[in-house]
Amino acid sequence: YSTATPYTTLPSVLLLGPPGAGKTALTTLLERGSSSDTLDGPVAKTHTSQVPSSIELSVNSDDPSTSYKTNLDNESATAKKFLLVDTPGHPKLRASSLMRLNAAEPTIKSSLVSDGGAKSKIKAVVFMVDAAALADGDALPSTAEYLYDVLLTLQKRFHSRGGSRAPASMPVLVAANKLDLFTALPAALVKSNLEAELGRIRAARSKGLLDSGIGQDDVDAGEEGDWLGGDGSEKFSFAQMMEFDVDVDVIGGSVIGDGPGAEKWWKWIGERV
């Protein structure tokens, strides 16, 4: 490892998503996970986040599927530490979250590192959605709008790379939360509904460009424009983001209640930090 600095800057995982999706609830769950005295206690009441906050977590690097409830101090396991950065979902507070992704090698100023200038490398993005809110349709446009901006930022990042050096690929987990609620959409429907809505947004935005008098020739939509995903394809799918080294997975889970829990998300994160 590098000996240039006396401290270690941990990599980070950026937690994004609309207000109320459960980002802070998940952060609290994982933070308390391995302290056994609070294991079965309820996740503390959350409130709307206004500033990002980060917590330090560790995965078993020998076996990322080890439960977040396992206290690695008690195991003869190799712990890999990282920061989970919880961000506010409010539309007015999103710009700074997006800005962090707008670099070939996205970093975040780590508030946990004593030196104020230290940067933590963003290894993955978790975009959390409320699968119950998506079921009645009202939340779909605003949720997809935010996801569109996240994916488009990552796509542009791919093109902004300097020289021949390709940027590191960016894995994105769409965490379909609140599956403990019987009204929630299953992960497969969260995926297809989001893909359909992202396709609608893509069509609307490109129409907006054309209506504004900017001709097709003036806009190299695939490179500079707001066109998300591969060119010319009629339907949007997350698979189209692979072309830009953005690898999207959709996995269902729950933070509270009697549902599938958070272990699958934890494993996904553990394999990527």
Residue nearer to ligand GTP on the CB measure, 26 or 122:
26
Residue nearer to Mg ion on the CB measure, 49 or 177:
49
Q: Give the bridge partners for 177, in sequence order.
A: 130
- Burial class, 45, CB count within 10 angstroms (exposed 0-12 / middle 13-18 / buried 19+): exposed
Under rule CB under 6 A, residue 24 binds ligand GTP: yes
Residue nearer to ligand GTP on the CB measure, 89 or 171:
89
Under rule CB under 6 A, residue 252 binds ligand GTP: no
CB of 106 to ligand GTP, least distance (A): 20
Give the Å distances, CA to CA, from 191 to 129, 182, 248, 249, 256: 11, 18, 10, 9, 22
Residue nearer to Mg ion on the CB measure, 26 or 151:
26
Partner from Mg ion, ligand GTP, none binding residue 21, C-beta < 5-8 Å depending on class: ligand GTP
Residue nearer to ligand GTP on the CB measure, 122 or 128:
128
CA 101 to chain centre: 11
Cβ-closest residue to ligand GTP? 89
Q: Which residue from 104, 256, 260, 263 is in contact with ligand GTP, where contact means CB under 6 A?
A: 256
CB of 135 to ligand GTP, least distance (A): 13
Under rule CB under 6 A, residue 143 binds ligand GTP: no
What are the CB-based long-range contacts (under 8 Å, 24+) for 62-66? Answer: 64/267, 64/269, 64/270, 64/271, 65/263, 65/267, 65/270, 66/270
Chain contacts with Mg ion (rule: CB under 5 A): 23-24, 49
Under rule CB under 6 A, residue 54 binds ligand GTP: no
Under rule CB under 6 A, residue 46 binds ligand GTP: yes
Q: Which has the closest alpha carbon to 83: 33, 11, 8, 172? A: 11
CB of 86 to ligand GTP, least distance (A): 7
Partner from Mg ion, ligand GTP, none binding residue 120, C-beta < 5-8 Å depending on class: none
Find the binding residues for ligand GTP in span 89-108 (CB under 6 A): 89-90
Q: Which residue from 10, 23, 147, 167 is in contact with ligand GTP, where contact means CB under 6 A?
A: 23
Residue 215: count of CB within 10 angstroms of its CB: 8
Question: Three-state SS for 143?
Answer: helix
Tokens 């270690």 belong to which residue?
Answer: 8
Tokens 């997975």 belong to which residue?
Answer: 249
How many CA atoms lie less than 13 Å away from 265 in the CB half-sphere?
29
Vertex 219 angle, CA 218 and 224, to 5°: 140
* Span interacting with ligand GTP, options 32-40, 41-49, 211-219, 265-273, rule CB under 6 A: 41-49
Under rule CB under 6 A, residue 52 binds ligand GTP: no
Locate 215 and state its tokens: 């001709």
Strands (E), 87-217: 107-109, 119-130, 170-177
Catalog residues that contact ligand GTP under the rule CB under 6 A: 17, 19-25, 46, 48-49, 88-90, 177-178, 180-181, 254-257
